[in-house]
Amino acid sequence: MEPVAGRDVRGVLPEGLADAIRTTAEDIAGLLRGAPGTGGPVPGSEWTVGEAAAHLAQANALMADIAAGHPRSHGDGTPQSLAQANAQALAAFGERGAEPLAAMIEEQAGAYLDAAVQHPAQEMLVTPLGPMTREVLGSYLLTHMLGHGYDLARALKRPHMVDPARARLALPFMIEVMPRVTDATATAGLNARYAVRLRGGDRFGVTFTDGVVSVDHRLPERPDCTISIEPATFLLMALGRCAPTRAMAGGRVVAWGRKPWIGPRFPRYFKAP
């Protein structure tokens, strides 16, 4: 049982999701509260720590509003439009202080959880990355916090919070959004069947037919390539935070099958928004 603001989310959200959202927000807030300042750079990003934290606070508020049934527009789902919407939102929001942003991130994560137990979990909502239920939106919220939380931990030289349990809870969103983030140029004319197995039990299939992708919770028959991957590595690789070659060299990713050589190509077929 996972109480949220005095409510029981058992049977409303997938097991563990509410706790993961809450504790991830708390972990990020703890990073910020322990930071010597927020003006330092985030590795691999043009943002400072304060800007990344401000973006998280705004994104959590956006998803809480959507979950509460208040439509919000934020780009058209393409990486370019999302980046532009993020830049415009940051420019209009001046807060960069660690304590206020930490409090906002926690508060808005809680607001999503409150909304999730007050509305139908399977109702379809319009989100920045297409229609999805409140369950999948919660997985989206968690995924987004984990990606930027990982960045903040690296920037502040602190342990990150991306672990296998939380990475598995991000999978519903990842499966939902994969067709929307496929790189049409990279997959043009591609015919291939992948079986993806996350170590610990989760699995899904990805099939390309003349470049068109379909994703299924079931594995395809006679896959061309089977990929076995550690869950946290899968999430970080999908979010562009981990190089496939480095992960394969460390044994965190293994590919086999009739065409094992297409395994390393898999991440190139998608662009993280």
Condensed to tens digits (0 to 9), the pLDDT of residues 44-101 reads 999 999 999 999 999 999 999 999 999 888 888 888 899 899 999 999 999 999 999 9
> What separation in angstroms does the CA of 206 have from each of 180, 215, 239?
13, 5, 17
Paired residues of 225 in beta bridges: 194
User: What is d(CA 50, CA 39) in angstroms, rounded to the nearest whole number?
Assistant: 6
Q: What distances in angstroms separate CA 180 from CA 64, 128, 130, 191, 271, one per listed residue?
A: 22, 11, 8, 18, 9
Please give the pLDDT value at position 3.
Answer: 45
Confidence (pLDDT) at 5: 43
Spatial contact of 257 and 224, defined as CB atoms under 8 Å apart? yes
Average pLDDT over residues 110-118: 95
Quote the domain boundaries for residue 187: 182-269
Q: What is the pLDDT of residue 11?
A: 56
When the pLDDT of each residue in the chain is averaged and rounded to a whole number, the result is: 92
pLDDT tops 50 at residue 1: no
Residue 221 burial (CB count, 10 A): 8
Task: Say if residue 102 is in the same domain as residue 7.
Answer: yes
Residue 170 in domain: no
Cα–Cα distance for residue pair 250/262, rounded to 1 Å: 18
Shared-domain flag, residues 157 and 207:
no
Of 165, 192, 220, at which residue does a domain stop? 165
Residue 104 lies in a domain: yes
Q: Please report which confidence band the pLDDT of residue 165 belongs to, taking 50, 70 and 90 as the band edges.
A: very high
What share of the chain has pLDDT > 90, as a percent?
Answer: 83
Proportion of the chain above pLDDT 70, given as a percent: 96
Domain membership flag for residue 173:
no
Q: How many structural domains is the chain composed of?
A: 2
Specify if 126 maps to a domain: yes
The pLDDT of residue 79: 81
**pLDDT tens digits, residue range 221-247?**
999 999 999 999 999 999 999 888 888
Domain check: are 190 and 153 in the same one? no
CA angle 27, 29, 34 (to 5 degrees): 95
CATH number at residue 15: 1.20.120.450
pTM listed for this prediction? 0.93
Q: How far is CA 258 from CA 17, 138, 212, 226, in A?
A: 36, 37, 21, 9
Dihedral sign for Cα atoms in the order 139, 150, 80, 107: positive
Q: What is the pLDDT of residue 236?
A: 95
pLDDT of residue 85: 93
User: Tell me, what's the pLDDT at 71?
Assistant: 86
Is the pLDDT at 10 greater than 90? The verdict is: no
In a domain, 124, yes or no: yes
φ/ψ of residue 213, rounded to 5: -100, 145
Domain-terminating residue out of 165, 200, 217: 165
Helical segments of the chain, H only: 17-33, 49-67, 79-91, 98-118, 134-155, 164-169, 171-177, 184-187, 231-238, 244-249
Least Cα distance to 48 among 167, 115, 148 occurs for 148
Distance in angstroms between the alpha carbons of the first and the last residue of the chain? 33
Identify the residue whose tokens are 């691999």: 44
Pair (149, 199) in one structural domain: no
Cα–Cα dist 166/171, whole Å: 9
The span from the CA of 56 to the CA of 104, in Å, is 9
pLDDT at position 102 is 98
